[in-house]
Amino acid sequence: MTAQAEGCVQVKAGICDPNEVVMVSYWRDRASLKHFFTGEPHRRMMQFTRKNSNSLGLYNETYQPTHSGKYINEPQGMATIYARSLHP
């Protein structure tokens, strides 16, 4: 549901160890993220988190890069937006 939300640029998943999976979502702007936070999918995730507190850790970070990073293969995450706007 997150990947389909308005303003979501990309969702990436990574397996850190047999008991830990990391999901990172990239958002076009703060307003899109705030709108997602008020929606039904996020509410259901929060209910799950309350019932299963050892199953999910939730962290939120926001920042706006001043320039895109360098990628060996192809831009990922916010670079898919900023690469176009910062390097025309």
pLDDT in tens, 2-16: 889 999 988 888 888
Q: For 58-74, write each residue's pLDDT tens digit.
A: 777 777 766 666 667 77
pLDDT score for 43:
92
Rounded Cα distance, 9 and 26, in Å: 5
- CA nearest neighbour of 82 among 6, 2, 9, 3: 9
Q: What is the pTM of this model?
A: 0.69
Q: For 13-60, write each residue's pLDDT tens digit.
A: 888 888 778 888 888 888 999 999 999 988 998 898 888 777 777 777
C-alpha distances (whole Å) from 52 to each of 43, 47, 48, 71 are 14, 9, 6, 37
